[in-house]
Structure 1
Amino acid sequence: MSKLQKNAYGGQAVIEGVMFGGKKMMVTAIRRKDQSIEYFQSSRRSNRVLTALKKIPFLRGIAAIIEASANGTQHLNFSSERYDVHPNEDDVIKEEKKESKLSLILGVATIGVLSFLFGKVLFTLIPVFLANLTRPIFASDLAQVVIESFFKLLLLLGYIYAISQTPLIKRVFQYHGAEHKVINAYENNQELTVESVQAQSRLHYRCGSSFILFTVVVGMFVYLLVPTDPLWLRVVNRLALIPVVLGLSFEVLQLTNKVRHVPVLRFLGYPGLWLQLLTTKEPKDDQVEVAIASFQELLRIENEGKSVTGGEQVS
């Protein structure tokens, strides 16, 4: 099968595992305390509004973010609850769970979307106030936008570097690298073996890390179109323009992925790849094994046309 004929699969690192998503299904594989691999399967959840928006350029990015946050958080919640539980404790855990599965899924999905939006607002407004402190020295709108973007980039890189020093996040970043390696192996028509996958790059053009960096770059150009003074208007503009920046950044990400095989244009995606040097780490063989298991399980389910109406755990 040629690269052009292959379906585009995406993924996400979770705690002690990897989630992969196809057109209709999502599968997570995690490494349990006893070294066994456990799977969690779910159908992609969407609605008519999001489905319609995903067909419209500049709006499809926002719809994709909301959908990915809602679906991905459900799998992240599964991994955080299960990875450090010994299989002998499974029955006890099940007895302690009293919540309705539907209410739990809806609650986790809502938290995922709200957490993303809250984080985006913070990373948008903090640089605004920091840049405004320099107005006595740099008064022009151009200078203020450049300084604001600099603070935003500094905040982003500092935050990523800081959390990457914690043991838990470091392992998540290793699984992130394993996820990219598996996708690269699949798209390059390589065998999905640990040795073959490890030989692949841990960087990928479609990564969400690249998207985050593009929001900084795209935002800088968008903010040049609106005034930076007075401060209250600047804050209102930044909040109002969040959907615009997200939508444009998604289109830039899609463009860089499409031209990545064109020698003259592939450099457009390099800034995002450079950021992935922070958000991914070289995985160990056992982590790659989990990523491969997750991806192969997704392929198996999709090839069989299996339908899952809710979350399903498979040991």
Structure 2
Amino acid sequence: MPQESRNIYGGQAVIEGVMFAGKHVNVTAVRRKNEEIQYYEVPRTTKSWVQPLKKIPLLRGVVGIIESSAKGSQHLNFSMEAYAEDETEEDAAKNGSKPVEAPKAEKKSGFSLGMVVSVAVAGVLSFIFGKLIFTAAPAALEEMLFKGLFESSIGHNLLEGLIKIILLLCYLYFISLTPLIKRLFQYHGAEHKVISAYEAGEELTVANVQKYSRLHYRCGSSFIVFTVIVGVVLYSLPIFVWQGLWDRILIRIALLPVVLGISYEVLRFTNALRDIPVLRFLGYPGLWLQLLTTKEPNNEQVEVSIASFKRMLELDGKLAESAGIKAS
């Protein structure tokens, strides 16, 4: 099937697995310690008043980010629960004791309705809190370390952006040294490879998928880089010139939704231009960051990613058919 007629899909890595977001369902596949692939399937539901907002430029980015943070947290917590269960059983086996069996009703999905809502809210709050810290801390550091170095705010904004990038790179590098996060980044690479193979019209086999790059233009890592670049440009506008540290921080917090909205549109724009040789370099900063946030996956990890994607396509098709929608 030609790439132009195919749906655009996204996903995220989870602990020992991958989640893919379909048009009608989100599916996570994780590899358990017994080598079984276990699935977590959640139909996608959007409030009627939210759907129109997702079609408005700038605003759609903020809405999509909040929604994906909420949904992604559910699937990440499912994978963490499965991983913790495997670790508990493994420890029990080593100690010669019998692990406590979880109730069957909870083993199916791992979450009650109340837990799903709580996890979704926690995911959104964590994202917002993280963005606030990442926005305020570099501004405070630049103000304390380089106050008075430049007469204009442009130089200070560039230094602030540089501090953000340094903090981000250091953070990603050091967490990538831990075995669990390294495997998470490998699954991130497996997710990208599957999407690239699908978009190229390849049959989804391990051998075919492994031929593709672990880097992808349409990635959250690229989005992070664009928030830094867009922020530097936006904060340098004369209307947003700051007078002191607290003015500077408050302006950045107030403009955070604008930065996120513009960055999302830039991400879409660079993805649309990725096949144009002269313009594809616009997406390179995001690809460079992915050298840290992705690792080359092994065949078993790619197999899990393929299983998740195929299961998502299967359920998406069934749900579309039952709703009378022609699947593409």
Common fold by TM > 0.5:
yes
Contact 1:24-1:44 within 8 A present in 2 as well = yes
Distance 1:100 1:250 in 2: 31
CA contact (8 A) 2:16 2:183 kept: yes
Displacement of 1:137 after TM fit?
A: 2.5
- 8 Å CA contact retained: 1:205, 1:260: yes
Map of 1:93 onto structure 2: 102
Partner of 1:14: 14
Alpha-carbon offset, residue 228 of structure 1? 2.7
CA distances 1:167-217 after superposition (whole Å, capped 9, x unpaired): 111000000000000001101111111111111110111100000110000
In the alignment, which residue of structure 2 is the partner of 1:54?
Answer: 54
- Structure 1 range deviating more: 295-304 or 251-260: 295-304
Query: 2 CA distance for matches of 1:70 and 1:307?
Result: 27
Q: Distance in 2 between matches of 1:77 and 1:139?
A: 48
Q: SS state of the match for residue 34, structure 1?
A: coil
Query: Are the structure 2 counterparts of residues 103 and 169 from structure 1 closer, same or farther at C-alpha, using a change threshold of 3 Å?
Result: same
> Hey, what's the Cα distance between the residues in 1 that align with 2:206 and 2:111?
39
Moved over 4 A (4+): 86-91, 95-100
CA contact (8 A) 2:106 2:112 kept: no
Give the letter aligned to residue 128 of structure 1: A
1:24 is displaced (CA, Å) by: 1.1
Superposed CA RMSD? 2.2
Match of 1:275 among 275, 282, 289: 289
Partner of 1:83: 83
Q: Which residue of 2 aligns with 1:227?
A: 241
- The letter for the 1-side match of 2:268 is Q
SS at match of 1:49: coil
Aligned sequence identity (%): 54
Q: Give yes or no for contact 1:9–1:21 (8 Å, CA) kept in 2.
A: yes
Greater shift after overlay, 242-251 or 296-305? 296-305
Match of 2:279 in 1: 265
Q: How many residues align?
A: 308
AA paired with 1:250?
Answer: Y
Q: Which residue of 1 is the match for residue 325 of structure 2?
A: none
Which residue number corresponds to residue 253 of structure 1? 267
CA–CA separation in structure 2 for the residues paired with 1:209 and 1:239? 21
Identify the residue that residue 171 of structure 1 maps to in structure 2. 183
Partner of 1:157: 169
Q: What TM-score, normalized by structure 2, do the two folds share? A: 0.89
- The SS at the match of 2:55 is coil
SS of residue paired to 2:101: helix
CA distance in 1: counterparts of 2:267 and 2:163, whole angstroms: 22
Greater shift, 113-122 or 76-85, is seen at 76-85
2:118 corresponds to: 107
Partners of 1:15 and 1:30 within 8 A in 2 = yes
CA deviation profile, 1:59-95 (whole Å, cap 9, x unmatched):
0000000110111110111000013424988982227
Distance 1:251 1:114, change over 3 A: same
